[in-house]
Amino acid sequence: MISGVKTTLSAGLYSLAVASVLAAGGARSDQGWGVEALMHDLASSGQPPLHFTETRHSAFLDIPVVSHGMLRLLPDGTLEKERQAPFFERFSVDRTHARLDTAERTQTLPLADLPALRSLIEGLRALFRGDLPALSGLFDIQLNGVQAGWQLRLEPRDPALAQAVEHLLVRGDGAHIVEVETLERDGDSSRLELTYPPR
């Protein structure tokens, strides 16, 4: 298991699989469309609050754990994952600290003590904002598919994150990220399905 973050702050945003990125020169599938065009689309679209359904598999669990809630990227860069069912839990990460709020207590830890989580969150921010230079510094990626149905395979470049996460698969349609699947080094995995609000 991923020590530290998972034992102290729960699986949190490791399921987000919401974290990922691109090395320059990803493959192109549609003529004239590739990593740079995809990132431009993501940067132009903005990211509203998203509903999520998360399915987590673990060697320590007999059956998968399914939860529901909201994922938000706030204007100040704070990434917030609020689990609403089957129990309440809000996990938020700003530039310097990670915070876990439950019905029983609040816990805050400095990101300096959580280098893997820090890299993951930086990647997620960059992905949702379409920041290619920041993303490509954190992950090696392969882009497959077409604009209407693409997949990024993301392999961490940061040693701390690479010890915890083998790779992420981010799937999308146009400027929408619709699924993030995370495979951890210990064999645990999660799938985060994202639903956008009606226009």
The letter for the amino acid at 93 is V
pLDDT in tens, 36-93: 999 999 988 777 789 999 999 998 989 999 999 999 999 888 999 999 999 999 999 9
* 5-195 fold: outer membrane lipoprotein receptor (LolB), chain A (2.50.20)
In angstroms, rounded to a whole number, what is the distance separating the alpha carbons of residues 81 and 42?
20
Residue 198: is it exposed, middle or buried by C-beta count within 10 angstroms (0-12/13-18/19+)? exposed
The letter for the amino acid at 192 is L
Q: How many CA atoms lie within 13 A of 116 on its CB side?
A: 20
pLDDT in tens, 121-146: 998 888 888 899 999 999 998 899 99
The letter for the amino acid at 128 is F
pLDDT band of residue 25 (cuts 50, 70, 90) is: very low
What pLDDT sits at residue 84?
96
> For the chain, where are the alpha helices, taking DSSP H only?
5-9, 35-45, 115-129, 132-136, 159-164
Q: Is a pLDDT exceeding 70 seen at residue 6?
A: no
pTM (two decimals): 0.80
Q: Is a pLDDT exceeding 80 seen at residue 29?
A: no
